[in-house]
Amino acid sequence: MPHRDAHTASLALRLALSFALVLLLGGTALALSAFAYGRQAAQRAYDQLLIGAADQIAGSISVHGGAVVVDIPASAFDLLALAPDDRVLYAVLDPQGALITGYDGLTLPASRFATAEHAGEPVRLIRVGRQFSERNYAGAVDVVVGQTTRARDALARDITRSALLAVAPFALLMAGLSAFAVRSALAPLRRIEAGLAAREPRDLTPLDVAVPPEIGQLVATINRFMARQVRQFEIMRNLIADASHQLRTPVAAMRAQAELAAEEPDPERQRAIVERIHNRAVGMSRLTDQLLNHALIIHRADAAPHDALDLRRIAIRIAEEIDADDLLLDLPEDEVACRGDALSLAEAGKNLVNNAMRHGAPPVTLAACREGGLAVLSVRDRGPGVPEALWAGAGARFDRTGAVTQQSASIGLSIVSAVAAAHRGALRFGRRPSGEFEAALTLPAARR
Amino acid sequence: MRPGAVALLVALAGPAAAQTAPEDAARFGPETGPGALVVRGTTDVALFAPLLDAFVASLPGIAVAYEQWGSNDLNAVTLAGCRGEGTPADLVVSSAVDLQVKLVNDGCAHPHSSLMTVALPPSAAWRDELFGVTEEPAVIVYNRDLVPPDEAPRSRFDLIDLLRPDDSRYAGRVATYDIEESGLGYLFAFADSQQATTFGSLIEAFARSRAIATCCSAEIIQGVAEGRYLIAYNVLGSYALDRAQEDPRLAVVAPEDYTLVLSRAAMIPRGAPNPTGAGLLIDFMLSDEGRAALAAQHLLVEDGGHLLPDDDISLYRPIALSPTLLLGLDQQKRETFLARWRATFSQP
């Protein structure tokens, strides 16, 4: 199934993708911050050059006879030439904004630092003022120095690249650790796989593999699933064993009687034999029904989902399906809530009623009630009931040695017992103070 | 480009009136066919011709139209091309390297990068836009017949010593560039002032001995050959060596304290019609074949050019192509420097 393959592949893939995403986002964030840091560091470094050059130019300004004289030192330009490929702009402006020396037409930056454009390239500008208060000259002379940004851009790239190169080994280490983490996180799954693969085909005992709690649920589910398989196997095996045993003896008897009838010359006696064959066939047909019913109900009780239901409704349904005039119903006014499979419960109840009608004494009463934490579906009659000595064992497995009629009662009880077990309940026998015999199916009551 | 900056550069171009025509012109390669590569330079046609001949020979079908300009005019016409006035050349090769740096700084250049250009030392290239293609020392030239060997100056200190005595026979017989007239002279003098404190004593000595500040390379060298001047200081080596080859009276000396070396700067103007062809020519000039053609004309002093004892090239001080050259173009700096020069030379 390609669909299934895609799913199994996607687990490791999904983990890998998650890790890759985390690394990618982290790496991008790192690269961006490295770039921001690089830009800032480069900006600061080369701004220092501009400041130095501007200060040197400002320091070379003097006033001679009312005129400003600027004798720019070569060191100012040497300083700017430390950014070897960048163009240089500079101007010295008098307090009125007129050019004293340098490039004409430079706009005076409003703040200390500014960014402008020169001949199609961005320029970083700095403005430094120098105040003069001579007898014949007063006011602020402004020095503007600018430089294109090639060197600082290159330095920013360089810093970013170095930072990323320094971080790259850690990223690789992280990737390696992630791969290791993925492998070790998936290791319990591989242990389960190995545990299952190493089993004998018929070995359905619970898995015993040491796993972390997150995967313990999975193991528990697998074990529950296997336990159900075990029960189903058990049911099948019992059914086959019971059916073969129960049916073989009567079929052999019927064959013997049929042969007898064929050789019987007296028509009267022959008819009597046929009558017996018929009776036996009817009994066997009921037995077959019950056997199949048994298997079906037990399977269903185990497999069908349990719904919230009211035992009074189950009782009414049983009464309707049996449709006997002498069946009495004893139901409380309040709901008798529990969880279960309505069909299995109804079938178990019918078996109890049938048993009481067939083997007990009227009147037969079908009752539903709550007893503390239990929801109880019970059948009462005035007959002798099941002997007290057998109460404990009744219903566990029916007796294969008794007569057919007793067998059918026994099968009925075993159905009730199986249904009770599937509902985490029990089959209970008792004698009421009134002297009535009571067979009851008790289930855990649901909270109202 | 802002008009203000243009005004500044025109002002810097000096008193010489801007001409709009080249001083000389020559065509190399096939006379017909598609448009020739237009190269404008300050180098004399005769000195540059062997290089261009070799170039057109190496690339069949290519033609080069070379125009020889004065350095200030060349700067003015290139700047005009940058502003969209007139047709820009495909390649500009100028000895006014400070003006070339300024053009690049103003975004007037088209970048070019090749295996040849990346191999250049940092001082000989700027921004993949400006490339130093020649190596020409600033030299001292003297007249062999009139200057006895034991007095021949080997360094600036020797020169100062020669000029020190009040009755020095070199008084009034030493010539150098008039830096107000000559861009190259200004460039060398300014580089000297940046290089060493010797410069102060030197121009003082020039002043005391009434040295002659005049123009230009050819006239100065001619003056030395004819004996009008005994010694010439800071003459461009390529012209001096070229003349000395034919004139045995001329001796060429690279100062032993340090020797400035100028690299003519090649630049592809922005908007050049054929930047690829210009790039090929730059690469050719940097190739072994191109360097050989330049060396043959003394435009390149390979391995010291036998001008210095033991060819000690560590004494060479290349004038680096970098924005530091903009300092010499600063209005106030230039004014201050020229004022100092003028004051020195006008002393009685």
Contact status of B100 with chain A (Cβ, < 8 Å): no
Residue at A273 is within a domain: yes
Question: Where residue A152 sits, what CATH number does that domain have?
Answer: 3.30.450
Strand, coil or helix: B169:
coil
- Sign for the CA dihedral angle at A32, A36, A42, A46 comes to positive
Is residue B313 domain-resident?
no
The per-residue pLDDT for range A163-195, each reduced to its tens digit, is 888 888 888 888 888 888 888 888 888 888 888
Burial label for A417, CB within 10 Å (0-12, 13-18, 19+), is buried
Residue A207 lies in a domain: no
Is residue B293 a part of any domain in this protein? yes
On average, the pLDDT of chain A sits at 83
Same domain for B32 and B81, yes or no, is yes
Q: How many domains does chain A have?
A: 2
Nearest by CB to residue A77, choosing from B4, B7, B323, is B323
Q: Looking at the complex, does the CB of residue B196 fall below 8 Å from at least one CB of chain A?
A: no
The reply to whether B127 touches chain A by the CB within 8 Å rule is: yes
- Whether B205 and B269 map to the same domain: the answer is no
What pLDDT was estimated at residue A413?
A: 80
Give the count of domains, chain B. Answer: 2
- List the single residue in A81, A104, A120 with the smallest CB-CB distance to B5: A104
Query: Which residues in chain A have Cβ-Cβ distances shorter than 8 Å to B105?
Result: 87-88
Q: Residue B321 domain-assigned?
A: no
Q: Structural domain of residue A145, as residue ranges?
A: 2-157
Same-domain pairing of B270 and B170: no
Residue B16 structure tokens:
């010489």
Does pTM surpass 0.80? Answer: no
Are residue B224 and residue B245 in the same domain, yes or no?
yes
Per-residue pLDDT, A4? 46
Chain B residues in contact with A105 by the CB 8 A cut-off are: 2-5
Note whether residue A305 is domain-resident: yes
Gap between the Cα atoms of B296 and B245, Å rounded? 11
Same structural domain, A152 and A275:
no
- Do the Cβ atoms of A87 and B7 come within 8 Å? no
C-alpha closest to that of A70 among B344, B6, B331: B331
The residue out of A157, A183, A216 marking a domain boundary is A157
| pLDDT in the model for residue B311 | 64
Instruction: Please indicate, yes or no, if residue B320 is contained in any of the structural domains.
Output: no
| Domain residue limits at B121 | 3-135+263-300
Residue A318: inside a domain, yes or no? yes
Q: Does A162 map to a domain?
A: no
Residues on chain B touching A71 (C-beta within 8 angstroms): 332-333, 336
Going from the first residue of chain B to its last (348 residues), give the mean pLDDT of each consecutive group of 10, the final group possibly shorter: 40 46 89 84 92 93 92 91 89 95 93 93 92 93 91 91 87 89 90 86 88 85 93 91 90 90 95 93 95 91 65 81 92 90 72
pLDDT number for residue B347: 53
Same domain, B114 and B149: no
- The per-residue pLDDT for B348 is 45
Does the residue B65 lie in any domain?
yes
Mean pLDDT of the region A376-403 = 68
B170 and B233 both lie in a single domain: yes
Taking the Cβ of residue B314 and every Cβ of chain A, the question of whether any pair is shorter than 8 Å is answered with: no
pLDDT tens-place string over residues A285-321:
878 887 777 777 777 766 777 888 898 999 999 988 8
* Residue scoring higher pLDDT (A335 or A405): A335
- In this complex, is the C-beta atom of B324 within 8 Å of any C-beta atom belonging to chain A? yes
Band of residue A396 on the pLDDT scale cut at 50, 70, 90: low
- Helix ranges restricted to H, B144-235: 156-163, 183-195, 198-208, 217-226
Q: Test B327 with A119 for CB contact under 8 angstroms.
A: no
Query: Is the same domain home to B340 and B192?
Result: yes
CATH code of residue A377: 3.30.565.10
> What contacts A158, CB < 8 A, 6 or more positions away?
A38
Residues A209-268 have pLDDT tens digits of 777 887 888 888 888 888 888 877 887 787 778 777 778 888 888 888 889 888 888 889
Q: Give domain status of residue B248, yes or no.
A: yes
B322 touches chain A (CB under 8 A): yes
CATH of the domain at B267: 3.40.190.10
Nearest CA in chain B to A150: B127
| A9 & A135 share domain | yes
Q: How far apart are CA A245 and CA A234, in angstroms?
A: 16
pLDDT recorded at residue A15 = 78
- Token pair recorded at residue B187: 């460039």
Q: Are residues B117 and B10 in the same domain?
A: yes
> Is residue B210 domain-shared with residue B336, that is, in the same domain?
yes
Residue of A nearest to B190 (CA): A74
B323 touches chain A (CB under 8 A): yes
pLDDT value, residue B65: 94
Task: Locate all alpha helices (DSSP H) within A199-341, ordered by sequence.
Answer: 213-263, 267-303, 311-322
B311 falls within a domain: no
Q: Are residues A369 and A254 in the same domain?
A: yes
Residue A231 lies in a domain: no
pLDDT of residue B9: 42
End-to-end Cα separation, chain B, in angstroms: 45
Burial of B259 (0-12, 13-18, 19+ CB in 10 A): buried
Final residue of a domain: which of A157, A189, A208?
A: A157
If asked whether residues A246 and A153 sit together in one domain, one would say no
The predicted pLDDT at position A9 comes to 56
Tell me, yes or no, if B194 comes closer than 8 A to chain A by beta carbon: yes
Average pLDDT value for residue range A128-148: 89
Do residues A404 and A306 both lie within one domain? yes
pLDDT value of residue B6: 39
Looking at the domain assignment, is residue B287 inside a domain? Answer: yes
Lowest mean per-residue pLDDT among A87-96, A330-339, B17-26: B17-26
Residues contacting B152, CB < 8 A, separation 6+: B142, B158, B251, B253
Residues B131, B275 within the same domain: yes
Average pLDDT over residues A112-122: 86
In a domain, A183, yes or no: no
Whether A116 has its CB under 8 Å from any CB of chain B: the answer is no
Same domain (yes/no): B68, B84? yes
Tell which of A157, A188, A220 closes a domain.
A157
Comparing A324-333, A383-392, B228-237, B276-285, which segment has the lowest mean pLDDT? A383-392
Chain A residues whose CB is inside 8 A of the B102 CB are none
Q: What is the pLDDT of residue A8?
A: 54
CA atoms within 13 A on the CB side of B217: 22
Q: Report pLDDT for A57.
A: 93
Q: Are residues A113 and A254 in the same domain?
A: no
State whether A84 and B5 contact (CB < 8 Å): no
The answer, for A98 touching chain B at a CB cutoff of 8 Å, is: no
Contact A100 B332 (CB under 8 A): yes
Mean pLDDT for A97-120 is: 85
- pLDDT reading at A65 higher than 70: yes
User: Does residue A219 sit within a domain?
Assistant: no
Say which of A81, A99, A105 has its CB closest to residue B324: A81
Please indicate, yes or no, whether residues B100 and B39 belong to a single structural domain of this protein: yes
Number of Cβ within 10 Å of residue A280's Cβ equals 16
Q: Which of B143, B162, B164 is nearest to B220 (CA)?
A: B143
Check residues B314 and A97 and name the one with the higher pLDDT. Answer: A97
